[in-house]
């Protein structure tokens, strides 16, 4: 099962921070997973939402599988 | 690297240690970022982070800073968790042979921490809570470092 993580406002809006999800057979890429999750959590699909697969920031698209940890993150702000 | 702190830290003690371990540097510049009270509107600043990823990304931004400026040493300490007004959020210190590189490195790294470090801020106060996103000024500040100029 893939491990899905949400942070900041995304986690608060969704009401969860971490979920284990058996990926449906047709979800093989980050963009497909993003669209799938955005059905119930619209903000995950927002252009400003960044994604990291196995703690690596993904700029374009990437394959995802049941072994992966996928994090969705709203705009970052440190300092 | 011990960059993240989940409870209050003493930036002055950290800075003292940083200065004490320099041998070749001629200048140390530093910045201490504090949690603002916003005239009583903020009672707590909550900094969410992504353990394991936040540290890696800060290390990446530090490496970028070292690549760009001629530094002897560089230090970042960043809070996460629940922070009270007046408490330090971040310490950035840069040591260099000459002052300009030290000043610029601190300025550069702060601009990148503001917009690229994986933290998410929520202000809690008497009127409720709100999530803070980078301001357009933060993004403009970062743009000062891109473009044609090469240091």
What is the span of the domain harbouring residue A9? 2-73
In chain A, which residues have their Cβ closer than 8 Å to the Cβ of B89? 79
Which residues is A19 bridged to in the sheet?
A: A4
More confident residue, B133 or B151: B133
Distance CA B119, CA A7 (A): 9
> What value does the mean pLDDT of chain B take?
94
Express each pLDDT in B94-141 by its tens digit.
999 999 999 999 999 999 999 999 999 999 999 999 999 888 898 899
Taking Cα atoms as reference points, which of B105, B116, B94 lies closest to residue B145? Answer: B105
What is the model's pLDDT at position B151? 47
What is the model's pLDDT at position B139? 87
Residue partners of A52: CB distance under 8 A and separation at least 6: A58, A70, A71, A73, B50, B53
pLDDT average, residue stretch B53-67: 97
Positions in chain A short of pLDDT 50: none
Q: A74 vs B117: CB contact, 8 Å cut-off?
A: no
What is the model's pLDDT at position B134? 84
Q: Which two tokens stand for residue B139?
A: 């993004």
- ipTM of the modeled complex: 0.94
**Beta-carbon pairs below 8 A across chains A and B:** 67
Q: Which of B78, B120, B138 sits opposite A7 (nearest CB)?
A: B120
Is A79 a domain residue?
no
Distance CA A21, CA A79 (A): 33
Count structural domains, chain A: 1
Is A78 a domain residue?
no
Residue A5, min C-alpha distance to chain B (Å): 9
Please, are residues B137 and B114 in contact by the beta-carbon 8 Å criterion? no
Is A43 a domain residue?
yes
What is the model's pLDDT at position A32? 96
Say whether pLDDT at B150 is over 80: no
Q: B110 vs A79: CB contact, 8 Å cut-off?
A: yes
Is A54 a domain residue?
yes
**Orientation of helix B99-116 relative to helix B53-68, angle to 10°:** 150
- What is the domain-level CATH number for residue A67? 3.10.20.30
CB proximity under 8 Å: B 73-132 to A: 78, 89-90, 110, 113-122, 131-132
At B135, is the secondary structure helix, strand, or coil?
A: coil
Domains belonging to chain B, first-starting first, are: 4-125 (3.90.1170.40)
CA dihedral B62, B145, A48, B128 (to 10 degrees): 80
């Amino acid at each position: 099962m893939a491990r899905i993580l949400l942070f900041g406002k995304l986690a608060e809006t969704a009401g969860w921070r971490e979920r284990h999800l058996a990926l449906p057979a047709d979800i093989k890429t980050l963009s497909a997973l993003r669209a799938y999750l955005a059905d119930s959590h619209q903000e995950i699909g927002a252009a400003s939402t960044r994604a990291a697969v196995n703690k690596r920031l993904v700029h374009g698209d990437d394959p995802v599988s049941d072994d992966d940890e996928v994090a969705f993150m709203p705009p970052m702000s440190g300092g | 690297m011990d960059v993240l702190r989940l409870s209050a830290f003493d930036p002055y003690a950290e800075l003292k240690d940083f200065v004490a371990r320099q041998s070749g540097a001629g200048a140390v510049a530093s910045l201490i970022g504090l949690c603002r009270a916003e005239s009583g509107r903020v009672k707590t600043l909550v900094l969410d982070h992504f353990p394991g990823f936040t540290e890696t990304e800060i290390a990446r931004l530090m490496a970028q800073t070292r690549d760009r400026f001629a530094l002897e040493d560089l230090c970042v300490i960043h809070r996460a968790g629940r922070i009270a007004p007046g408490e330090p959020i971040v310490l950035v210190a840069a040591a260099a042979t000459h002052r300009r590189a030290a000043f610029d490195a601190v300025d550069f790294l702060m601009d990148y921490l503001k917009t690229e470090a994986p933290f998410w801020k929520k202000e809690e106060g008497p009127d409720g809570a709100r999530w803070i996103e980078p301001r357009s000024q933060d993004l403009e500040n970062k743009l000062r470092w891109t473009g044609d100029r090469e240091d």
